[in-house]
Structure 1
Amino acid sequence: MQLKSWQKKALAGLVSGSLTGCSLYVPMLPAAPQIREKGQVEIHGTSFLNRRWEAGATYSPAKYVLVRAAGGIRTSRGDDSTFARSRQYELAAGGYYPLGRCWLVSGLAGFGQARSGYAYWDLGPDNRYADREYRRYEARYHRLFAELAASYTDNGFTLGVAGRLTDVRYDALTFNNQPVGLRRLPRFEPMVFCQLGRPEGAVPWLRGQVAVTGSTSLNQRPAISPSFVASQLAEEVPCLTVSIIILPHLFKAGGW
């Protein structure tokens, strides 16, 4: 099967974004919890395959109620002049509602804070080392977000989708140590995911997840200059993730 041109570009963008991690804004993975009863807990550990990791926990303290906390870090092999690094956290609350035995819907709203930095040498349109230009971005921002998720589970396999609206608000933003006049940039962050794990299996408290997610700006042309700074801040951020999910409420079923 031959891929069309737009499919090749999309695949290349996903692989590049997943493996390089070179973006100033760093989206967090939508939660899409698979909790269906009071007292259940999910603990996620996630790799973005680009020296980015996240961990989070979601809990149902009462029927149909969810609370969540998560954090993430990005490390870089670079030095003081070339790097891509970040650290962040988020807190959220919401609810869930099972639709029969297989379907589940959930929603969360919350708040998060982050610090991010990204620096590199740009070789210009002709890719000439002699014409290279140093570019360094630093940001502190907080965000308000709301997400919805729906999933279908059958025979230990779960397939689901989620969408998150995020209002990114910059507390400090600089390019080459000079302030940038951008204070707010809303984004949309969709996700498609699948999980595998059998509650009646040998390890009922363990599940695996693969997800494709990303973040796209809802303001494609921020009113700032130079233009390449605006493009950098509004760029799409694709992500391919692999997660391990631990379900502590099933430890007893697994013989713990």
Structure 2
Amino acid sequence: MATRNFYQYLSQLALLAGLGSCTVYTPMQPTVSTVSQQGQLELTGSLQPNTRLEGTAVYSPLPHLLVTAAGSFQPKLAENTYATTRQWEAGLGSYVHLSPRWVLTGLAGYGAATAQKALAEFPIGGINTYHARYSKVFGQLSLAHERQAQSFGLVYRLANVRYGQLEYRFGSSPEVLAIPMQNAFRHEGLAFYRVSLDPRDRWQLQATAGLSVAQQPAPLVAPEGPGRNDYYAENREARKASRPVPMVSLGVVFRPQFGRDK
């Protein structure tokens, strides 16, 4: 029954992934952790429906101290319409036991990314190409519950995204146009579920689903110079860059220090 419910959950994740936004912003998933003791380590590798790979490491070198690192890569698989990204992040945090089965975790960190997308423009046709380079400072809280052979929880992250580059080009036009948005706060929520793959609970299957939502940007003065576009189009593209982005993945977790003796 548990396996059947898990596959039903995965089908719902796939449906959510189909609602993907066309924004060039590509969020990494908030860090998922069930680490609750010194010396514990979690290594997670996941795949998203858009072929993006993500890897995360969470380690506790001292009691109640967490160190995290993560990276994400999406290759370019087509010439006309595509999406590609490279990004990383690192963080420090802590965890506290609310009960024998509940763990509250807090993290703060920094990350950076480059992203490029080529998307069909409907209904007028043509291909819009977007380029972005940005950094982020983030803080997050998560609540995890461990049960026999499974765990689940929720994560909330607030990220301040600062764009060093945010621009687009329409169709075959050689003109590259700046999108007037320098930074944005994004609220990112994630739910996760893990099920054990072996009796010692060292290997787990993980499914996640979440959403990244941005505060709508205030209209800015259009940039001057030859890269200037009309005010309406620039602010339309700024709104596109602030659209919600779903986060869905399926992955495997390896916990080498964990046993079934707790």
Answer yes or no: same fold by TM over 0.5.
Answer: yes
Structure 1: how far apart are the matches of 2:201 and 2:13?
34
Q: Which residue number corresponds to residue 240 of structure 2?
A: 232
Q: 1:29-65: per-residue Cα shift (whole Å, max 9, x none)?
A: 1113101110110001011121111001010010000
Q: Which residue number corresponds to residue 4 of structure 1?
A: none
Q: Which residue number corresponds to residue 84 of structure 2?
A: 85
Structure 2: how far apart are the matches of 1:134 and 1:92?
37
Equivalent pair of 1:45/1:55 in contact (CA under 8 Å): yes
Cα deviation, residue 193, structure 1: 1.1
Confirm whether residue 214 of structure 1 aligns to residue 222 of structure 2: no
SS in 2 for 1:46: strand
Residue 132 of structure 1 aligns to which amino acid in structure 2?
G
Residue 36 of structure 1 aligns to which amino acid in structure 2?
S
Structure 1: how far apart are the matches of 2:143 and 2:127?
44
SS in 2 for 1:76: coil
Confirm whether residue 168 of structure 1 aligns to residue 161 of structure 2: yes
Residue 52 of structure 1 aligns to which amino acid in structure 2?
R
Pairs within 5 Å for 1:34-113: 34-79=34-79, 81-113=80-112
Pairs within 5 Å for 1:23-38: 23-38=23-38
Pairs within 5 Å for 1:60-209: 60-79=60-79, 81-124=80-123, 131-176=124-169, 177-197=176-196, 201-209=198-206
Cα deviation, residue 99, structure 1: 2.0
Structure 1: how far apart are the matches of 2:43 and 2:24?
27
Number of residue pairs matched?
231
SS in 2 for 1:25: coil
CA RMSD of aligned residues (A): 2.2
Structure 2: how far apart are the matches of 1:13 and 1:197?
24
With structure 1 as the length reference, what TM-score do the two structures score? 0.83
User: Any stretches of 5+ residues in structure 1 without a counterpart?
Assistant: 1-9, 125-130
| Shift in CA distance, 42/149, structure 1 to aligned 2, threshold 3 Å | same
With structure 2 as the length reference, what TM-score do the two structures score? 0.81
Residue 236 of structure 1 aligns to which amino acid in structure 2?
P
Equivalent pair of 1:23/1:84 in contact (CA under 8 Å): no
